[in-house]
Amino acid sequence: MSDNVPAIIVKIGGSTLGAHDTTLADIAELAASGHRVIIVHGGGPQITRWLAIHQVGSRFVDGLRVTDAEALDVVVSVLAGMVNKQLVAQLTGLGVRAFGLCGADGSLLAATKDREELGYVGTLSGVNISILDLLISAGMVPVIAPIAMQVSNREAQLLNVNADTVAGEVAATFSGSSLVFLTDVTGVLDGHGDVIPRLAVADSVRLRAAGVLKGGMLPKIDACLRAAGAGSKAIIVDGRQPNALMAAVGPEPTGTLVG
């Protein structure tokens, strides 16, 4: 696998991995054809379900899950454990040499705990690209769970970080890469509910101020702009459509190109 081949960073979430979803098959095809693929996954619906099972409430501030000490145990277990390893197992079954890890492994993701009202939620501060280079050069497909680590005074603390932000920062470290967000909507929508084919920085500022862009779409757009600003292509597409990933990296992608 050549280091000159642009990387494809794929952000997937629980809402786009259904019984008829083709995302993992698309990833297998891309990997088999020599592309350098990196996966970042979320798991919000699964976290909410397991928090309820453990009788831990779910609360959000500015679209971010408030994560106290009790919730953190569940978040880490679900993201770095159950969801990550299920994805690795499914990809392995498709012939992919998948390697599951979270941000604590090899100090992949560094973060800081900046907002006390959010509890153990981190602001991403760095990506250790050497770990990803090592895995990719060995023919592996990294599958990253968005758990980061803050190290201070020789002590380390696990932190819950936004998976969209992780995907954007990883794409920014691989200049010239493609960042694909697989979502459960057809793309970024304007005030009339129509898909915006291309969203420039000025458009995002205007639509955000008008309240058209809001909620969970905001961190995705911010991540795309971060990646695009570093020289990577960033696109938001409907992951529920057959072969959505293959189309997104093809010559005529649908959805919304950001940047």
Beta strands in 103-172 (DSSP E): 109-112, 123-127, 141-145, 147-152, 155-160
pLDDT, tens digit, 9 for 90 and up, residues 60-103: 887 788 999 999 999 999 999 999 999 999 999 999 999 999 99
Which whole-number Å values give the CA distances from 65 to 47, 179, 181, 213, 225, in the listed order?
10, 24, 20, 19, 23
Rg over alpha carbons for the chain, rounded to the nearest Å, is 17
Q: What is the pLDDT of residue 71?
A: 94
Name residues whose C-beta falls within 8 Å of residue 55's C-beta, 6 or more positions apart in sequence. Answer: none
pLDDT, tens digit, 9 for 90 and up, residues 15-71: 665 555 789 999 999 999 999 999 999 998 899 999 999 999 888 887 788 999 999
Mean pLDDT, the chain, rounded, equals 91
Name residues whose C-beta falls within 8 Å of residue 22's C-beta, 6 or more positions apart in sequence. Answer: 242, 243, 244, 245
> Can you say how many angstroms the Cα of residue 175 is from the centroid of all Cα atoms in its chain?
17
pLDDT, tens digit, 9 for 90 and up, residues 141-192: 999 999 999 998 889 999 999 999 999 999 999 989 999 999 988 999 998 8
- Interatomic CA distance for residues 142 and 130, integer angstroms: 12
Token look-up 């696998």 returns 1
Instruction: Provide the token pair at 224.
Output: 């795309």
Q: What is the pLDDT of residue 2?
A: 43
pTM as predicted = 0.94
Closest by CA to 95, choosing from 157, 8, 168, 29, is 29
Which whole-number Å values give the CA distances from 175 to 98, 172, 196, in the listed order?
23, 6, 25
- Interatomic CA distance for residues 155 and 160, integer angstroms: 17
Apex CA 16: angle with CA 12 and CA 22, to 5°? Answer: 90
DSSP string computed for 153-184: TTEEEEEE--HHHHHHHHHHHSTT-EEEEEES
Across 129-159, b (16+ Cβ under 10 Å) vs e yields eebbeebbeeebbbbbbbbbbbeeeeeebbb
